[in-house]
């Protein structure tokens, strides 16, 4: 029986993604000066205002407002009330609570991996499957590519009437677990006041949809909705408020697997919301690439201040070459899931986070959690 699954993405100029981008830009600038800094930076944007708030513990001196204005400019907000040189910016950042820091700080050089505890409780999920070359679900991979293309043709002048805000959505029809066709494509693109709806629809179809979507997955029954409400002139924070961490499904797997609820952007790697989710993706991708399974979801859970996970759960959806409990045992044996070890393994003290803040944290070449460095170690279990 055929099934349908839908995922969405948003452009870097979407108000929530803009806030993610500013938060991660601040983290990167701090890590350049102090790679042991503790950061939990969030932003809230609305109309002509931006609030930068959170906890930062570091001796590094950075100009939060300058970083934010540069990011806003780079994304493309040079018009309207939220233009980079016009918007009002407030900064409300303080040091990390000592009650939170205590769980991570109480370690000695002799046993740092066991005493360096998780920065918070919670559960994190990883996922991988064989639907795309990058081992990501097809609907979210295509949605990201469409959203990224919207930004590219705006910035290179192909469609100069576009503005930074935008959303994409792709529905894929499956025959069992195999993607068969694209059923529906939805694109909403912010634009200036001069372009007509007819011209925009024609241009988006030509320069975005036909440029990105595999033609063999499109057919006469594929449905297209381009700016389905009509005009989309007011966008970004001027049209809707934005908040760091509000696009967690866009950031991960497009709803294909469970989500623990923790956001990524604005956080340093001592926060397992971010680092353990990256490690979970690393494990899942290597399991699939090694041939242990064709699809896998991994849950790992922590207690604040405790280094070792309180639980590990594997689900291969019936695709495993070994039983799920045996694969869980392999994960425990082959991967060190203590926070200090995760940070070391994935080199998470480096300023690499700005590139994750838009178009997904997973499936991007060059990121350390996307490396296939454990496949040989895992193949021996087959």
- Residue 275: pLDDT band by 50, 70, 90 thresholds? very high
- Residue 119: pLDDT band by 50, 70, 90 thresholds? confident
Which whole number is the average pLDDT over 131-146? 98
pLDDT at site 99: 58
- Residue 223: pLDDT band by 50, 70, 90 thresholds? very high
Which whole number is the average pLDDT over 41-45? 98
| pLDDT > 90 fraction of the chain, expressed in percent and rounded | 92
Which whole number is the average pLDDT over 297-308? 96
- C-alpha to C-alpha distance for 200 and 230, rounded to whole angstroms: 10
pLDDT at site 114: 82
pLDDT at site 1: 76
| pLDDT > 70 fraction of the chain, expressed in percent and rounded | 96
- The single residue listed with the structure tokens 């025959």 is 175
pLDDT at site 91: 97
pLDDT at site 340: 95
Sequence-separated (6 or more) residues with CB below 8 Å from residue 114 = 307, 308, 338
- For 138, list phi and psi in degrees, rounded to 5: -65, -45
Of 61, 59, 26, whose CA–CA distance to 40 is shortest? Answer: 26
Q: Is 366 left (phi over 0), alpha (psi -120 to 50) or beta?
A: left
- Residue 115: pLDDT band by 50, 70, 90 thresholds? confident
| 295 pLDDT more than 70 | yes
77 alpha-carbon distance from chain centroid: 22
- Residue 138: pLDDT band by 50, 70, 90 thresholds? very high
The string of pLDDT tens digits covering residues 164-219 is: 999 999 999 999 999 999 999 999 999 999 999 999 999 999 999 999 999 999 99
Tokens of 49: 């205002």
| 120 pLDDT more than 90 | no
pLDDT at site 101: 54
The string of pLDDT tens digits covering residues 71-113 is: 999 999 999 999 999 999 999 999 866 555 555 665 555 578 8
Residue 202 to residues 224, 231, 301, Cα–Cα distance (Å): 11, 15, 48
What would the 3-class secondary structure string for the chain be?
Answer: CEEEEEEEEECCCCHHHHHHHHHHHHHHHHHHHCCCCEEEEEEEEECCEEEEEEEEECCCCCCHHHHHHHHHHHHCCCCCCCCCCCCEEEEEEECCCHHHHHHHHCCCHHHHHHHCCECCCEEEEEEEECCCCCCCCHHHHHHHHHHHHHHHHHHCCCCCCEEEEEEEEEEEEEECCEEEEEEEEEEEEEECCCCCHHHHHHHHHHHHHHHHCCHHHCCCCCEEEECCCCCCCCCHHHHCCEECCCCHHHHCCCCCCCCCCCCCCCECCCCHHHHHHHHHHHHHHHHHHCCCCCEEEEEEEECECCCCCCEEEEECCCCCCCCHHHHHHHHHHHCCCCHHHHHHHCCCCCCCCHHHCCCCCCCCCCCHHHCCCCHHHHHCCC
pLDDT at site 103: 55
Which whole number is the average pLDDT over 41-68? 97
Which whole number is the average pLDDT over 13-34? 98
Longest dimension (CA), the chain: 68
pLDDT at site 100: 56
- Residue of 221 and 110 predicted with greater confidence: 221
């Amino acid at each position: 029986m055929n099934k349908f699954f839908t995922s969405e993405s948003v452009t870097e100029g979407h108000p929530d993604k803009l806030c993610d981008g500013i938060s991660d830009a601040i983290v990167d600038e701090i890590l350049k000066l102090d790679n042991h800094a503790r950061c939990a930076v969030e932003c809230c944007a609305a109309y002509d205002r931006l609030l930068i708030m959170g906890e930062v513990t570091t001796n590094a001196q950075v100009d939060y407002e300058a970083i934010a204005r540069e990011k806003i400019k780079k994304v493309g907000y040079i018009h309207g009330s939220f233009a980079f040189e016009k918007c009002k910016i407030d900064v409300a950042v303080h040091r990390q609570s000592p009650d939170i820091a205590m769980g991570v700080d109480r370690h000695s050089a002799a046993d740092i991996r066991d005493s360096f505890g998780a920065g918070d409780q919670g559960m994190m999920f990883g996922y991988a499957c064989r639907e795309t070359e990058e081992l990501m679900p097809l609907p979210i991979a295509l949605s990201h590519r469409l959203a990224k293309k919207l930004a590219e043709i705006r910035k290179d002048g192909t469609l100069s009437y576009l503005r930074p805000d935008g959303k994409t959505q792709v529905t894929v029809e499956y025959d069992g677990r195999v993607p068969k066709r694209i059923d529906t494509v939805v694109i909403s693109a912010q634009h200036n006041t001069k372009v007509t709806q007819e011209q925009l629809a024609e241009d988006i179809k030509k320069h975005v949809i036909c440029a990105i979507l595999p033609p063999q997955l499109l057919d006469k029954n594929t449905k297209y909705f381009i700016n389905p409400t009509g005009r989309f002139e007011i966008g970004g924070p001027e049209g809707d408020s934005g908040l760091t961490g509000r696009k967690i499904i866009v950031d991960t797997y497009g709803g294909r697997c469970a989500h623990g609820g923790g956001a990524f952007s604005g956080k340093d790697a001592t926060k397992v919301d971010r680092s353990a989710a990256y490690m979970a993706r690393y494990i899942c991708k290597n399991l699939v690439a090694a041939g242990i399974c064709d699809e896998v979801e991994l849950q790992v859970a922590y207690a604040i201040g405790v280094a070792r996970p309180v639980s590990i759960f594997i689900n291969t959806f019936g695709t495993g070459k070994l039983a799920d409990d045996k694969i869980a045992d392999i994960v425990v044996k082959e991967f060190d899931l203590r926070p200090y070890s995760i940070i070391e393994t994935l080199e998470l003290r480096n300023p690499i986070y700005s590139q994750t803040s838009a178009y997904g944290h997973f499936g991007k070449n060059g990121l350390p959690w996307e490396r296939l460095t454990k496949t040989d170690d895992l193949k021996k279990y087959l």
